[in-house]
Chains A and B, each alone.
Chain A
Amino acid sequence: MSDGLSCCSGGAPSDEGVASDGTRSAAESPEPLITLVGLPNSGKTTLYNALTGSNYKTVNYPGSTVEYAISRFLVGDRMMRIMDSPGIVSLSNQTPDEEVTVDALFGRTRHGMPDAIVIVADATQLARHLYPARHLLRAGHRVVIAVTMVDILEKRKNMSIDISAISREMNCPVVRIDGRTGQGVDALRSAVIGTIAAIRPKTPEKPANPSAEQIVDDYRELERIEDAAVDASRAPAGTSKRLAICMPDPTTERLDRWLLHPVFGAVIFSGIMTAIFTAIFWLAQPMMNAVDRNVSALAVRLAGILPNVWISHLLTDGLIMGVGAVAVFIPQIVILFFALGILEDSGYLSRGAMIVDRPLAAVGLSGRGFVPILSGFACAIPAMLSTRTIPSTRERLLTIFILPLMVCSARLPVYGLLLSFLTPPNQPWIGGIGLTALYLFSVVSGLFGAFLFGKFLKLEKRVRPALLLELPAIRKPKFRVVLTSTYYRTKSYILRAGGTIVVIAIFLWVLTHFPPRPGLTESEQMSQSLAAVLGQWMEPLMRPLGLDWRVGVALICAFAAREVFVGALALVLLVTGSPNSSEPLLLAMRNATMAHGTPLFTVSSCLGLIVFFVFALQCMATVAVSRKETGGWKIPMTQLFAFTGIAYIAAFAVVQTLRATGIP
């Protein structure tokens, strides 16, 4: 798995990124710390997963601003800790991702100074991949080099590599490994044991940035080592050895003629995106229904067993339904992460980013924002986490800014309800067109939002941000590797989003159920609750939108997660029976009237509500992640007030314009 352009850094989260207490915890954990280092796409995370295997314990550090994974595992009779961190090109870090790694390499985290460093180096591009190794060795670190991708060098480029020559020249142990099959992993473990037994001559220190002359000298030396280690005598003749080493492998070269073609490249890209979206929406639907059904059934069963007191209602309606609100999106998230995993492991992801870079750059974004935006169609939270691979802070903040505008899956049930209310039974296609239009509109409004916000964002306005994206060799994706990354990313999403959503769900349950009045039905209870009081305060705000306090209550509840709107509306509109089947709710919506007898849900008020949901930032979990990722309240608060304000004004304009032209 690569991390040059990953969806969220592989492995598990995370650390507080606190530099101050490094020494203390090093003393607390006598288990040696091994850190994996490599360029993006070197196969580092794949090796991490192979090294730790199935019998490891991953430790999560909550409250993180940065992300890396640490596992403990047994080597012989010795317990060790192994750390995976984002890929780096050199020790002169330029992105938040790289800063994490460089800090970890020089002991500026709570985990202390690494006892040994395993450098993962791609055999097909040895000089570049040994470059950070040279600097780490010079800085005083104990280093083991793990050479990957030897299969590509041998099978596709018809070359071979002399591992011992690298070892001799670099003066450190070198092991040939394949993380995807597990080959060489045992040899690597023993090399690490041997290395940490040696005495470290000095405490490693981060060197200053090298001068141009030093870089040239280093590369000259590394080219000499590459030349000594790589045997190209069996490679097809016609070019010099140097050029033969420089060429990508023939398979990648051939495929790129199509994948990067100015016209066919875009066609293939659109085809792949369409396939992913189809999978996310059609494939996930039955699974989402099943999750929904099971969670509701569990709540009903528990309610039957537990005594009828408020705390059991808090457990069943608040907690279980809150967990359900997270769980119902897991199928979509899993499919998205699986698709991203395939694109990533095959090497296509970076190529897709290259194809969309120009249009995104026109509004101040980057091709590297392609993965976050794509993830944003499932959920803004993993999308925001995946912006960490964008080196330019400006492009990164702009990407985070527009992510809440993407049609996340939580909006789908709301759009589904309102569109089916608006769609005449004899013209079902209207709903489909409406949904497609909403998706396209979210992309357009996102691009426009980036353009507009870019005008106000002063930061790095004059700097021309770089792309400098590596396009790895194209390979057949390994199912096991893709599954592992899907598992970690899903887990990371659940841990991050889950807690916040559950807390807010419980809070909203309290709002809608307090003060408790025994003997009332659930709907009566809700219409006299704190939320109803709040809703009635909101009534003057709702009336210009052609709505009343009951929709206001549902909108308050939607701050837990947007789709809660549907269930809350069902409750507040006195729907008896299951709030999950939409037919009685649609009926209740048709019969609902305002205080003076006119219908509550009309074409204009429903369209107004849809427009409100298009723009409004109603997800508190997103606000929390945005604060964490942007390192302050400025951007999340701008998002919250600007998007919700625009939503209100746009909904108001739509409702009043329609009514002025005679549409009810």
Chain B
Amino acid sequence: MTLLDIAKNQWARVDRVEGDAAVRLRLMEMGFTPGECVRVVAASPFHDPIAVNLRGTLFALRAHEASCLHICPMD
């Protein structure tokens, strides 16, 4: 599942980052590394863009970038 499929405010771990090389490099260098905890904090209509909590800050990601982030939910 990707970051687009998870309920608001539920923590998840990044499993892997996909997409083209530039987006992957950018997402990973921004801190979306496998194993790190993420959480969707707010979503615009149609989940585009969404606000994601990562490493102490929030990011606005478009649906396309969010779909590059494959995750597994934490309990």
Contacts and interface: CB of A to CB of B under 8 A. Distances in A.
Given A89-B26, A253-B41, A245 B61 contact: no
Contacts of B48: 357-358, 361
Contacts of A265: 42, 44
A260 B65 contact: no
B26 A470 contact: no
A472 interface: yes
Interface in B53-75: 53-62, 64-65
Interface in A466-496: 466-473
A94 B21 CA distance: 12
Given A253-B41, A354-B49, A471-B59, 12 more contacts: A122-B57, A125-B55, A125-B57, A128-B55, A209-B25, A216-B35, A248-B57, A256-B41, A357-B62, A367-B60, A466-B64, A471-B60
Main secondary structure of the interface of A (DSSP, over half): helix
A126 B23 CA distance: 23
Nearest to A368: B60
A253 B25 CA distance: 28
A122 to B, nearest CB: 8
Given A94-B26, A212-B28, A216-B33, A469 B55 contact: no
B51 A245 contact: no
Contact of B43 (A243, A262, A463, A472): A262
A358 B65 CA distance: 14
Main secondary structure of the interface of B (DSSP, over half): mixed
Contacts, number: 131
A215 interface: yes
Contact of B49 (A210, A219, A246, A358): A358
B31 A358 contact: no
Contacts of B7: none
A247 interface: yes
Contacts of B37: 242-243, 246
Contacts of A350: 60
B42 A261 contact: yes
B30 A354 contact: no
Interface residues of B, number: 40
B74 to A, nearest CB: 9
B29 A215 contact: yes
Interface of B: 11, 17, 20, 22-31, 33-37, 39, 41-46, 48-49, 51, 53-62, 64-65
The 9 closest A-B pairs by CB, nearest first: A260-B42, A125-B56, A354-B60, A471-B58, A90-B29, A469-B60, A467-B62, A128-B31, A215-B28
Most chain-A Cβ atoms within 10 A of its Cβ — which of B37, B56, B62?
Answer: B56
A253 B51 CA distance: 11
20 contacts: A125-B55, A128-B56, A209-B25, A210-B29, A215-B25, A219-B31, A246-B54, A253-B41, A256-B41, A357-B48, A357-B60, A367-B49, A467-B60, A467-B61, A467-B65, A468-B26, A468-B61, A469-B49, A471-B57, A471-B59
B26 A127 contact: no
A71 interface: no
A124 interface: yes
Given A124-B57, A354-B60, A472-B57, A219 B51 contact: no
A127 B55 contact: yes
Contacts of A209: 25
Given A89-B26, A89-B30, A253-B41, A467 B49 contact: yes
Nearest to A157: B56
Contact of A127 (B23, B31, B42): B31
Most chain-A Cβ atoms within 10 A of its Cβ — which of B20, B39, B49, B53?
Answer: B49
Contacts of A472: 57
A247 to B, nearest CB: 7
Contacts of A473: 57
A350 B41 CA distance: 15
Contacts of B27: 468
Interface string A440-475: 000000000000000000000001101111111100
A554 to B, nearest CB: 46
